[in-house]
Structures are given as structure tokens and as C-alpha cells.
């Protein structure tokens, strides 16, 4: 039995669909009306009898380790689409955290491109054009306030503050309009830089619309409720007359990988389902892990493509050359 909390949300419903396509189950699906993360007894009833308990609910910062604790009490494995702190697990069981797009796939794709070898130069760009749910907006604001990452920082053999600057009006391939680049260095990026022994590493959030970028600048000076509403409204305006999309680009020592998906819910739900599959197949020893650190890159990328969740391409030259070739073609 696979228990999925948050199954009525964008990520959860896609995760359930992909689990069924993979033949993993049966699936026990729950929305907020079935299992309340604030009520341990409610969680225990839902987790009872589950082999794997999956958390796709939000906001992640409010849930914390409550669902993980329910998994431990039930003697179940645990997979979380979010989660950025190690959790306690039942003896002989596995907890896989950050099994989503970011964090998660944002570490796996560079590792897949680099073949887990030592890397001198690494750059990662992530552009998400999708609606901010209330939970996602709350998690973004909480992470910013708690200092989970540092704007403008980069990796130069160690974390270096203010190594980069914000750029506007930048032309990038795979984005049809000029974009804004916001350098942002996360704990996952630091773990990846250390694992691959990166000498120089830059990570960018790519903003293709004007409204969310301006909202990012405003929300830190206003109240939480107003900020959440502002982010949600800005995302709707930026997505008007456009389909949701995700573009994740990694460049390692002159080679570039490009992954594209039709929205955050699709790709995150697929990562969750494949993470559950890895846990069910005992690919990981017992313990608590971050998905981006331990999932097999080739298996995950192949699995995502096989599910039709992403398109992936690899080029034997850097992204800057792709830009020049596009301009030359025009």
C-alpha cells in the first residue's frame, strides 16, 4: 500500500497518476479532509498498513516532520516532495526527502551530465512559469525569511557572498523572450558542489515574466497574507495566455543538458513516483537521504523521459555557444 497525502493538489494528483502508470500500488490517496497533518491520530490512521508514506501536501514548512513521524510510527518508508531537514526513520526503513523539482532534479540533472565525475565549472539555470499555489507562496516566503539559501552568492571552492549580480534583458535559448537572472545559492547547490568537487559554480533562477520578478522585490516589506496574495496574483498575470512550463539547464565543463516539462506539478509528481519506485526496489540502504544526492541520475532521467514527463537534450558545447548559434540563424 502506498499512502499519498496531498493527493488532490497539483503535485499529488500527478504523483498518483504516475504511480499507477508504473504499476506501483495499490495507492491510498488523501486530501486535507481525509488526513490532517495537525492531528497525529488522523495521520496514524491514514499511515496504518502503508509500505510507503508519501507527502505531497503543503505548506512544507508548516508540516515539518509530522508526516515523517507518522511514517516512523507506522513502520513505513517515507518519500517527501519537499523536506530539507533529515528525519528519523523506523529501523530498516528509508526516508527520501526533497524528491521534487527543486530541490531534487536540480541536483540530479547536473550529476547526470557530469557523470558524477569531478567538475571544474558548473552552471545551472531553472525557469518555472507556473501558478504559485498558496502553499508554494507560503513556503517561498518562509525559506527567504529563514535564510534557506543566499541571493547573489556562488561557489568558488567555497560559498562566496555577492559573487554574482542580477541581470535583466538576457537572451537565453529555450526561452522565447528576454529573461531576468537571479543568482541564488541553496543548501542543495552547496552539497552538489562539494560532491562533484566543483571549482566554480553558479546557480540562477530564471524569470520570464515581469510580474513575479517585481513581486519578489515587494513581498519582503509587506505582511505575510498580502505577500502570499501578491505572489499568487503575479503568477496568474505572468501565465496569462501561456501554458505552464519548466526549463532546467545544466552546463558542466562545456557540455550542456536541457530538460523541459509542461509545468511544475507534472515533473515533480513524476520525480516523486520514481523516488517511490527506487525505495520499493530497495535501491537505497536504510536511513534518511536527500533525493538529489542518492537517486541514480541515469535511472531518474530515463524514467522521467519514459513517463513522458520531460524532454531532455544534450549538447557538446556551452550554453553561450547555443545563444550565438541561435542569433546567427536569425
The beta strand positions in the chain, using DSSP E, are 2-5, 27-30, 52-55, 77-80, 94-97, 121-129, 150-151, 154-155, 159-160, 167-170, 179-185, 200-207, 245-252, 255-261, 287-290, 310-315
Nearest-angstrom CA–CA distance, 96 and 99: 7
Average pLDDT, the chain: 93
Q: What is the pLDDT of residues 22-74, one digit of tens each?
A: 999 999 998 756 788 889 999 999 999 999 999 999 999 899 999 999 999 99
- To which residue does cell 535583466 refer? 168
Nearest-angstrom CA–CA distance, 60 and 74: 21
Rg of the chain over all Cα atoms, to the nearest angstrom: 19
pTM of the model: 0.94
| 3-state SS class at 304 | helix
- Ramachandran bin of 97, using left for φ above 0, alpha for ψ from -120 to 50, beta for the remaining angles: beta
The answer to whether 157 and 197 have CB atoms below 8 angstroms apart is no
Q: Which band of pLDDT confidence, cut at 50, 70 and 90, is reported for residue 325? A: low
Tell me the pairing of strands 310-315 and 159-160.
unpaired
Q: Which residues pair with 2 in a beta bridge?
A: 27, 52
Nearest-angstrom CA–CA distance, 98 and 300: 14
Q: What is the pLDDT of residues 78-137, one digit of tens each?
A: 999 998 889 999 999 999 999 999 999 999 999 999 998 899 999 999 999 999 999 999
Contacts for 143 with CB less than 8 Å, ≥ 6 apart: 61, 149
User: What is the DSSP track for 197-266?
Assistant: T-SEEEEEEEE-SHHHHHHHHHGGGS-HHHHHHHHHHHHHHHHTTS--EEEEEEEETTEEEEEEES-HHH
Residue 323 has pLDDT above 90, yes or no: no
| 3-state SS class at 3 | strand
Instruction: Classify residue 35 by its DSSP letter.
Output: -
User: Which sign, positive or negative, has the C-alpha torsion 150, 152, 156, 161?
Assistant: negative
Q: What is the pLDDT of residues 224-241, one digit of tens each?
A: 999 999 999 999 999 988
Domains with residue ranges and CATH for the chain: 2-101+267-306 (3.40.50.720), 105-264+310-329 (3.30.360)
Amino acid at each position: 500500500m502506498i499512502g499519498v497525502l496531498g493527493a488532490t493538489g497539483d503535485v499529488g494528483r500527478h504523483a498518483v497518476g504516475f504511480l499507477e502508470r508504473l504499476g506501483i500500488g495499490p495507492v491510498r490517496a488523501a486530501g486535507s479532509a481525509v488526513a490532517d497533518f495537525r492531528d497525529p491520530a488522523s495521520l496514524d490512521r491514514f499511515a496504518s498498513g502503508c509500505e510507503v508514506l508519501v507527502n505531497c501536501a503543503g505548506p512544507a514548512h508548516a508540516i515539518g516532520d509530522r508526516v515523517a513521524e507518522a511514517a516512523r510510527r507506522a513502520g513505513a518508508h517515507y518519500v517527501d516532495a519537499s523536506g530539507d531537514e533529515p528525519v528519523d526513520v523506523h529501523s530498516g526503513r528509508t526516508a527520501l526527502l526533497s524528491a521534487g523539482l527543486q530541490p531534487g532534479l536540480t541536483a540530479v540533472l547536473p550529476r547526470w551530465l557530469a557523470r558524477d565525475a569531478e567538475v571544474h565549472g558548473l552552471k545551472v539555470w531553472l525557469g518555472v512559469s507556473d501558478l504559485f499555489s498558496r502553499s508554494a507562496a507560503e513556503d517561498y516566503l518562509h525559506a527567504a525569511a529563514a535564510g534557506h539559501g543566499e541571493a547573489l552568492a556562488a561557489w568558488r571552492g567555497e560559498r562566496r557572498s555577492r559573487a554574482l549580480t542580477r541581470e535583466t534583458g538576457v537572451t537565453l535559448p529555450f526561452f522565447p523572450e528576454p529573461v531576468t537572472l537571479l543568482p541564488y545559492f541553496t543548501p542543495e547547490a552547496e552539497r552538489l558542489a562539494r560532491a562533484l568537487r566543483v571549482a566554480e559554480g553558479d546557480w540562477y533562477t530564471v524569470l520570464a515574466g515581469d510580474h513575479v520578478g517585481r513581486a519578489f522585490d515587494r513581498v519582503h516589506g509587506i505582511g505575510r497574507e498580502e505577500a502570499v496574495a501578491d505572489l499568487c496574483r503575479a503568477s496568474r498575470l505572468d501565465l496569462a495566455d501561456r501554458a505552464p512550463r519548466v526549463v532546467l539547464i545544466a552546463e558542466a565543463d562545456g557540455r550542456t543538458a536541457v530538460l523541459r516539462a509542461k509545468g511544475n506539478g507534472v515533473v515533480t509528481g513524476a520525480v516523486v513516483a520514481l523516488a517511490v519506485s527506487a525505495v520499493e526496489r530497495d535501491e537505497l540502504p536504510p536511513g534518511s537521504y536527500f533525493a538529489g544526492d542518492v537517486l541514480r541520475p541515469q535511472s531518474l532521467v530515463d524514467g522521467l523521459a519514459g513517463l513522458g514527463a520531460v524532454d531532455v537534450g544534450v549538447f557538446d558545447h556551452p550554453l553561450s555557444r547555443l545563444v550565438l548559434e541561435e542569433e546567427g540563424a536569425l
